Structure 1
């Protein structure tokens, strides 16, 4: 099964190149974010977050020069889509801790979510969650999946390839967390994008999914 694309034929490979460059930049930024946080503390984390925003903004700007906004999922968030985003986000917010517990039970590996939340204040955690919701959905769902759709790749590749790359960026959380938590989460968000073809829907769903981290940070710092 293939996906149709609204992108002009001459732009397909340019879109793929743009998505590939953004993925390399985003993966590299995410992988160095932990060392930056260790060496520089909160300023190091802020630098990594700022870089993700720069990458996402450049991707959107470059994409809109090559293809219609709808091919990136840029559309108004209507009431029905908002309800879908809310429902999916709540479902994933419940599923993620359950998957984490399951991974810990099966492998004996603790993901360290609470410890991570304790490391930063509520402010930087909120900024981090907002940054992840927007930039990761722009890069790993809208751009990566949109480019594969433009290339008329099989649906399974459109869904799985970006999910694997997204999982790679969370490798520092440990192999069990990456496999049993991040990969299913990415598949869920990818399926949502294929279904609604709406970047705002994915951003809202991702944001709701990550809100428990903000709650943990709030409790950890009281």
Structure 2
């Protein structure tokens, strides 16, 4: 996929310091669980993903139920915002669906991780080539634009595109610098295959738009 192809769709990215305003202290963790149905093993039969807060909510337990077998993984949670609904994705369009799990929720920005069914039958977090988790960020407010989407690739595949842009304008008119990176996702690893960088784009520029539903 060339640069023009990435520009046609918008994605998500990581700008760690970009306008994260924490929810005020004193907000109680929601005592709840979230459950979604997804085809985690790609056999056409619905499986189940269940997410629940652990203790004060600073950790969460993700459980997959596939063909009657239950496996689990522990991941970070938000002690203030509580457990959030999961999103069902298929980022590479291989028929084996993933779940997007919220780990932290700010006033303007949300941090997510992506989980699929690993070769051992347990939840597996999507990582980059160096083994680091690929965090999906969304939002950003005026200070940043963060988001994700997917775009067609090959005969029937998809790439996951991430967007990370920050407002670098010293004036009242926002101007964003950033990049969109396309990842090929295989066996739980996201490999960058293309990048489109931009500078000084206005707040209504198409490069800043996201369509997360394109990963469904």
Shorter-normalised TM range: under 0.3
How does the TM-score come out when normalised to structure 1? Answer: 0.26
Higher RCO (Cα < 8 Å, 6 or more apart): 1
How does the TM-score come out when normalised to structure 2? Answer: 0.27
Which is richer in helix? 1
